[in-house]
Amino acid sequence: MNDSKRGFTTAILHSDRGAPIEHGALHKPLHLSIAYGYRDARDLAAVFQGRAAGYSYGRQGNPTSAALETKITAMEGGTGTVTFATGMAAIGAIVMALLKAGDHVVSSQYVFGNTASLLLTLEAHGHPVSFVDATDAAKVEAALTPATRLVFVETIANPRVQVADLARIGEVCRARGILYVVDNTMTSPWLFKPKDVHAGLIVNALTKYIGGHGNALAGAITDTGLFDWTRFANIAENYKTQPPRNWGLQQLRKKGLRDFGGTLAPEQAHHIAVGAETLALRMERICSNALALSKWLAEQPQVRAVYYPGLASHPQHALARSLFRHYGGLLSFELADGHDPFEFLNRLKVVVLSSNLGDNRTLAIPVAHTIFYEMGAQRRAAMGIADSLIRISVGIEDETDLVEDFRQALA
């Protein structure tokens, strides 16, 4: 079978064996060495100069993270991937490696809390950032200025699950030649491929669904091959020796990964790679559980509002249906007046009170008091986060056990 025609899961499962592995091993072994020796000094020089493939010093990557990069590239249908120690290290690398003083950024106002915090730091460093309602591409377009260097959006926002107008924003960026960066963490490449909406770079926090087991942190940037890097003003001359399709990732690996040092350790890369094998299977179960739970919650008198893109009541339900395979694993809801969210949460027995998302286990958290506490009431209001909002990251438990847990906790 032609490798490129293989299905999503087949391609991930067998990607390590694209090259022979010692002893016929089915998993890429852990390469823990941080340095690599060469017999011919010319080969060493060629690796340093980017003329030959190979490894130099572990901060820029290692064979184990490279094997994971191959998997992520296959999942996203991209041209290449750079992995990082965390999702935030990947996003940080994009803004630090690709922007110059005065460059303007347009970001969705509905982004991961730490991403919003990072973008505010960026502003303090002299890059103006406009936060706009990305559910409406016209608002993104209206915010563009001649200095806009990149547009950053997420697919489904956390915790209020707003869905960005991904395809139309892609059209706007394409028409203007602006780099379009899509954080695909909440959907994962099984539900959505940002390449289909003309994203130039894709971010995945591998920590979440792709790893899936809550046992390793990691992040990735994938180039879709659709952005014309010759139109990007900020590529350093010394990175232009390779074909233009490599310029962006080359600068991200050097200026972003090497210089800031947010390197993915081989052990963590291995955990993520093993988790990634079952991404599609887990997402199917997670999404069907999330749809069932959100429908059930919406019928309960103790619940004031349920937010889930799979519900017809969701403002971007039709958009989500047109873009995504399923509606994701995240939902949030508010209890009716007179019901204390803390009391409710404390009665949950199966569901774990925890800040992570994308774990196999279902996790719940009172948003305003924890992950969105630091940003203050005003920003929370702008993001649609009520004080009583509870976020659920749905896992792969048996559906009946999940519904029963919510039933007894609401009673």
Ligand X SMILES: *Cc1c(COP(=O)(O)O)cnc(C)c1O
Measured from the CB atom, the residue of 73 and 115 that comes closer to ligand X is: 115
Residue closest to ligand X when measured from CB atoms: 87
Per-position x/- string for 11-30, each x denoting binding to ligand X as judged by CB under 6 A, each - no binding: --------------------
CB of 208 to ligand X, least distance (A): 5
Q: Angle 405-408-411 (CA atoms, 0-180°, nearest 5)?
A: 145
Q: What are phi and psi of 345, to 5 degrees?
A: -60, -40
CB of 112 to ligand X, least distance (A): 4
**Burial class (CB within 10 angstroms; exposed 0-12, middle 13-18, buried 19+) of 24:** exposed
* Residue from 112, 152, 232, 247 binding ligand X (CB under 6 A): 112
Residue 243: how many CB atoms within 10 A of its CB?
A: 8
Strand pairing of 363-366 and 352-353? parallel
CB of 351 to ligand X, least distance (A): 19
CB of 38 to ligand X, least distance (A): 34
CB burial string 120-157: b at 16+ within 10 A, e below: eebeeeebebbbbbbbebebbbebbeeebbbbbbbbbb
**Range 169-228, binding ligand X (CB under 6 A):** 183, 185-186, 205, 207-208, 217, 219
Q: What are phi and psi of 141, to 5 degrees?
A: -60, -40
* Residue from 154, 223, 359, 397 binding ligand X (CB under 6 A): 154
CB of 212 to ligand X, least distance (A): 13
Measured from the CB atom, the residue of 339 and 361 that comes closer to ligand X is: 361
Residue 266: how many CB atoms within 10 A of its CB?
A: 24
**How many residues lie near ligand X (CB under 6 A)?**
15
Residue 334 touching ligand X (CB under 6 A): no
| Tokens found for residue 273 | 């790679």
Sole window of 83-91, 127-135, 266-274, 314-322 interacting with ligand X (rule: CB under 6 A): 83-91
Measured from the CB atom, the residue of 115 and 250 that comes closer to ligand X is: 115
Residue 66 touching ligand X (CB under 6 A): no
Q: Which of 300, 320, 406 is nearest to 362 (CA)?
A: 406
CB of 104 to ligand X, least distance (A): 21
Q: Which of 153, 175, 172 is nearest to 162 (CA)?
A: 153
The residue type found at 371 is I
Binding site for ligand X (CB under 6 A): 86-88, 112, 115, 154, 158, 183, 185-186, 205, 207-208, 217, 219
